[in-house]
Amino acid sequence: MKIGILKETLDGESRVAITPNIAKQLIAAGFELLVEQGAGESSSFLDSDYNKVGVTVEKRAVIFHEAQVLLKINPFDEEDLKLVDEGQVLISKLYHKSNPELIKAIANKGVTAFSMDAIPRISRAQDMDVLSSQNNLAGYKAVILGAFEMTKIFPLMMTSAGTIAPSRVLIYGIGVAGLQAIATAKRLGAIVEATDIRSETKEQAESLGAKFISVDNTGEESEGGYAKEASADYQKRQKEAVNKSLFQADLVITTANIPGRKAPILITEEQVMQMKNGAVIIDLAAAQGGNCEVSEINKTIVKNGVKVIGTSIDPRSVSTNASDLYAKNIYNYIMHLTEGTNFKWDLEEEITDETLIVQNGTIRKD
């Protein structure tokens, strides 16, 4: 089976769906690989790197014409669809729920389309989960961004000119991004505290060296391992438990999300006004509405000497690693969908069922 790796065309995208290292593994598994010229350049993978592992480098039109399976990170767009042929299989993110027009256009081409953002969040799909692999990097990068924006360093430092006290970092939300933020801030020498509505995260935070701030979460059970919207009562208890740490913190990273909902507000403007002058808040949930009342996406707002940075931290800023992890997710997914080098679509099986959005021109999920 011929698999074509396309160059991303979305503005600012610097990742590539398959890296040379993963291409080599797919070739070893019996697939034939084609890559569009320059597809890996912005993530530091050269055409010659692909060539060395046995991938054929081709022009875009040739890839569309020859490959049975086409791979991209971002959704296939109108320009791509002009080039696809009936019977081809497309694998990319599709965000099908918010993109009904695109899904119709894909179906009209008589192709099959799988969506990487629809991978169910179950244990056996963990190694295919692109949201997690990219969020993990965002957690790391949030700490680095914080270090850049702060006017202090993280570690305790004893010098002949005196001792520098370590910085205090507070993390809200101990999911994939939050855990990596804890690990990174700890490695850099900060004193790290963290809180989450799910009590099972206590052990995870502590195993990375953070102090867990417990909030009584009676009546706030999670659903299938994911948080539900917190009650007003919980929010009040959370503020009481966290305020002391918040007002002492030098860096606050918020990562709290509720699947399918607006992000919860965990830090009000009133709380920001009581924080230390020079403190930095990195609101990683800004694109989902923000965890801090003050934050706005892609903006830095200074309130009472506190810098509030609303960002979704783009994994594109670490495109080499982001591509590598993404590629490994796709590799695992392709292995899951195939037997030998042929597709075996078991529609009774949850991962296939959830991610197969269009099958031979018929929309299965909307």
Question: Which residues of the shown chain bind ligand NAD in the complex (CB under 6 A)?
Answer: 121-123, 125-126, 129, 132, 135, 172-178, 195-198, 201, 225-227, 230, 255-259, 264, 266
Which CB atom, from 1 or from 95, has the smaller least distance to ligand NAD?
Answer: 95
- For the question of residue 115 being annotated catalytic, the response is no
**Distance between CA 250 and CA 246 in Å, rounded?**
9
How far apart are CB 98 and ligand NAD at their closest, in Å?
A: 17
Which CB atom, from 80 or from 196, has the smaller least distance to ligand NAD?
Answer: 196
Which CB atom, from 35 or from 256, has the smaller least distance to ligand NAD?
Answer: 256
Which CB atom, from 291 or from 323, has the smaller least distance to ligand NAD?
Answer: 291
Select the residue whose beta carbon is closest to ligand NAD and give its number.
175
Which CB atom, from 109 or from 237, has the smaller least distance to ligand NAD?
Answer: 237
How far apart are CB 273 and ligand NAD at their closest, in Å?
A: 21
Active-site position among 44, 126, 207, 231: 126
Tokens, residue 107: 């179906």
* Cβ proximity of 79 and 24 under 8 Å: no
* Cβ proximity of 331 and 26 under 8 Å: yes
* Cβ proximity of 328 and 20 under 8 Å: no
How far apart are CB 217 and ligand NAD at their closest, in Å?
A: 9
Beta strands, E only, 6-106: 32-36, 56-58, 69-71, 89-92
How far apart are CB 34 and ligand NAD at their closest, in Å?
A: 30
Active-site position among 226, 261, 317, 346: 226
* Cβ proximity of 190 and 164 under 8 Å: no
Which CB atom, from 39 or from 145, has the smaller least distance to ligand NAD?
Answer: 145
Computed on alpha carbons and rounded to an integer, the radius of gyration of the chain in Å comes to 23
DSSP 190-240: -EEEEE-SSTTHHHHHHHTTPEE-----TT---BTTBPPPPPHHHHHHHHH
Active-site position among 47, 129, 196, 324: 129
Active-site position among 43, 132, 271, 319: 132
Please identify which residue in the block is written with the tokens 């019996």: 30
- For the question of residue 129 being annotated catalytic, the response is yes
Which CB atom, from 63 or from 337, has the smaller least distance to ligand NAD?
Answer: 337
- For the question of residue 121 being annotated catalytic, the response is yes
What are the two backbone dihedrals, phi and then psi, of residue 77, each rounded to the nearest 5 degrees? -115, 180
Beta strands, E only, 59-128: 69-71, 89-92, 112-115
333 class by beta-carbon count within 10 Å (0-12 exposed, 13-18 middle, 19+ buried): buried
**Distance between CA 117 and CA 123 in Å, rounded?**
16
* Cβ proximity of 65 and 325 under 8 Å: no
- For the question of residue 226 being annotated catalytic, the response is yes
Pairing of strands 306-310, 299-303: antiparallel
Tokens, residue 306: 């506190």
- For the question of residue 85 being annotated catalytic, the response is no
**Distance between CA 216 and CA 233 in Å, rounded?**
10
Active site residues: 121, 126, 129, 132, 226
